[in-house]
Amino acid sequence: MSLAGLDITAPFHFGTVTQWFDSWLNSVMPHFWALTIEFILAGVLLLASYAVFALVMIYMERKICGFFQCRLGPDRVGKWGIFQVFADMLKILLKELVTINRADKMLFRLSIFFVILASLCTFAAIPFDKGLQAVDFNMGVFYLLAVSSLGVIGILTAGWASDSKYTMIGAMRSGAQLISYELSAGLALLSIVILSGTMQLSEIVEQQADLWFIFKGHVPAVIAFFIYVIAGHAETNRGPFDLPEAESELTAGYHTEYSGIKFGLFYVAEYVNLFIIAAIASTMFLGGWQPFHIPGWDAFNGIMDYIPPALWFTGKTLACVFLALWVRWSFPRLRIDQLLGLEWKILMPLALINIVLMSLVVLW
């Protein structure tokens, strides 16, 4: 196909490749078969990316954990221990699947499906670059909040179906924690919806081309960012909010009775959720794949445009992940009353007040 008319000085976007591939498929076969092939490829790439990001998150946390604890972390399997996660993945695939006699076997297996489905559907909506997004609904923020809530069902059924007091207590704690902090996270995102006037994630990113919302939205946007980061961190069950998996009290929490690949899928979903929370923060507050621009600084903005947009998105997201891991290894675990008190007495009222402030900023 001809490349005439393309602006070679413009930043490269993966959307250019996807549009070219779509045009080429439709030129050589009927639209139905072209659409079928695109759906299959999108599903395969989504699953592959899901697994790759999980491995990256596991390796990254181990290394950062080692840094904060003044040790090396994995350093034996491959250079810098980079193949340790692959060795662990192979090991967990070969582990025996222990059968729990008194467990509800159907719900015991179905709960894994709910947890993976929730994180996978949320992962599909993340705009990694212009045009590099599996789904782009005009109510994308509402979609994110809706599908991410499905994970609570999987956690509660996993705790109940295991027929263990440890898993049940862990599931109840996790359910209370997730349902509580989802409210503050949703209200923080609603502040950005008010500022942008749209729920479509691609449009929200496009509006941050000149300046990111964390700067453009003034003080309410900064408050919303910190509310979302705290609430999102609590939703991932990471320390100091790891009450559902408190090892000293509940062994492994709601997935205590899971083994082998079943436990591995819970483990993978937990790490991908950490990436998803950081990616949503990057998309909604930090411009997503948009480079850092300062209005009026044309030379500086031109230099920033040379950095690929996908690299901008990845860098911002990993910076948010690092912030979450920094918090995890800096604060002790909260008590359950402190955890819920932080949400209902501090974050929730602050988020409601912040929505009013953001509305006033938009009207002004």
In the structure, what pLDDT confidence band is assigned to residue 71 with cuts at 50, 70 and 90? confident
Say whether pLDDT at 328 is over 90: no
Range of the domain at 353: 98-363
CA dist., res. 228 & res. 10, Å (int): 33
Instruction: For residue 67, tell me if it sits in a domain.
Output: no
- Give the confidence band of 336 by pLDDT, cuts at 50, 70, 90: confident
Q: How many domains does the chain have?
A: 1
pLDDT of 208 strictly over 60:
yes
Of 65, 87, 68, 64, nearest to 76 (Cα)?
A: 87
Q: What pLDDT score does 246 carry?
A: 61
What is the three-class DSSP state of 31?
helix
CB 73 within 8 A of CB 119: no
Mean pLDDT of 47-76: 87
Cβ of 39: how many Cβ atoms within 10 Å?
11
Greater pLDDT, 283 or 251: 283
Instruction: Measure Cα distances from 334 to 177, 239, 240 in Å.
Output: 12, 8, 6
Check pLDDT > 60 for residue 198: yes
Before 240, cis peptide (omega within 30)?
A: yes
Helical H runs in the chain? 14-28, 31-68, 84-94, 105-124, 140-148, 150-161, 165-196, 201-206, 213-216, 218-235, 247-250, 260-285, 298-305, 309-328, 336-341, 348-363
In tens, the pLDDT along 221-232 reads 999 999 999 998
Residue 71's Cβ-count burial label (10 Å; 0-12, 13-18, 19+) is exposed
Instruction: Over range 236-256, report the average pLDDT.
Output: 71
Q: What is the pLDDT of residues 275-318, one digit of tens each?
A: 999 999 999 999 888 898 888 888 888 888 888 888 999 999 99
Mean predicted confidence (pLDDT) in 40-64: 88
Tell me how far apart the alpha carbons of residues 253 and 245 are, in angstroms, rounded to a whole number.
4
Confidence (pLDDT) at 189: 94
Q: What angle do CA 243, 268, 311 make, to 5 degrees?
A: 110
Least confident window among 1-10, 59-68, 325-334: 1-10
Residue 364's SS3 state is: coil
* Res 251: pLDDT: 65
pLDDT of residue 168 exceeding 70, the answer is yes
Give the CA count within 13 Å in the CB-facing half-sphere of 265: 23
Mean pLDDT of 5-33: 74
Taking residues 325-345, what's their average pLDDT? Answer: 86
pLDDT of residue 94: 86
Specify the 3-state DSSP secondary structure of 132.
Answer: strand
Residue 188: inside a domain: yes
In this prediction, residues 315-333 reach a mean pLDDT of 88
Q: pLDDT tens across 23-38, in order?
A: 888 888 888 888 888 8
Residue 233 lies in a domain: yes
In the structure, what pLDDT confidence band is assigned to residue 136 with cuts at 50, 70 and 90? confident
* pLDDT for residue 190: 93
Judged by DSSP in three states, 90 sits in helix
* The predicted structure's pLDDT at residue 204: 93
pLDDT of residue 359: 92
Domain membership of residue 79 (yes or no) is no
Q: Across the chain, what does the average pLDDT equal?
A: 85
* pLDDT given for residue 245 in this prediction: 65
Residue 239 lies in a domain: yes
* pLDDT band with cut points at 50, 70 and 90 for residue 320: very high
